[in-house]
């Protein structure tokens, strides 16, 4: 059983690690602030070369990766999702394989939202399991 003191220490270590990595990230990527990229003038070098009307940052929808895959599959089911070696997978195939992986994890007793560690090389299996 974990005491409150041990739990507090674990939380402090976690917070310190998050802060430490945030500090490192801010050294190498000065435009990052929290989880958002901020146009603070440090990236002006390349922005001046953008064509008129091109945004300095991208707008990302507030949907999950799973929702994005389902939407893309609905729009472009037969388009190539990714290529590995000499094989191509369509979005339909990718979506089907990702759903099979999700269902396999659910059948093992995992629930939606449970953390899962993935340790695979850069391969189709990694993309599918992510």
55: in domain: no
Give pLDDT tens digits along the chain (130 positions). Answer: 555 555 555 544 444 444 444 444 455 555 545 544 455 555 567 777 778 887 777 677 788 888 889 999 999 999 999 999 999 999 999 999 999 999 999 999 999 888 888 888 888 998 888 8
Where residue 110 sits, what CATH number does that domain have? 3.40.50.980
Provide the pLDDT for residue 71: 92
Residue 87: phi and psi, rounded to 5, are -115, 145
Helix 91-107 × helix 65-75 angle, to 10°: 140
36: in domain: yes
Residues 75, 121, single domain; the answer is yes
101: in domain: yes
78: in domain: yes
Reading phi first (left if > 0) and then psi (alpha if -120 to 50, else beta), residue 90 is in beta
Residues 23, 73, single domain; the answer is no
Domain housing 21: 4-47
Number of domains in the chain: 2
Residues 73, 107, single domain; the answer is yes
99: in domain: yes
Q: Are 101 and 65 in contact (CB under 8 A)?
A: no
């Amino acid at each position: 059983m974990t005491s409150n003191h041990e739990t507090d220490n674990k939380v402090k270590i976690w917070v310190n690690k998050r802060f430490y990595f945030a500090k490192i990230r801010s050294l190498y990527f000065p435009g990052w602030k929290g989880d958002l990229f901020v146009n603070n003038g440090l990236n002006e070098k390349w922005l001046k070369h953008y064509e008129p009307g091109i945004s300095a940052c991208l707008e990302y929808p507030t949907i999950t990766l799973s929702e994005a895959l389902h939407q893309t599959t609905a729009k472009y089911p037969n388009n190539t999702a990714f290529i590995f070696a000499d094989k191509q997978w369509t979005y339909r195939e990718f979506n089907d394989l990702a759903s099979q992986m999700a269902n396999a994890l659910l059948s093992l007793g995992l629930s939606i939202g449970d953390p899962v560690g993935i340790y695979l090389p850069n391969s189709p299996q990694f993309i599918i399991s992510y």
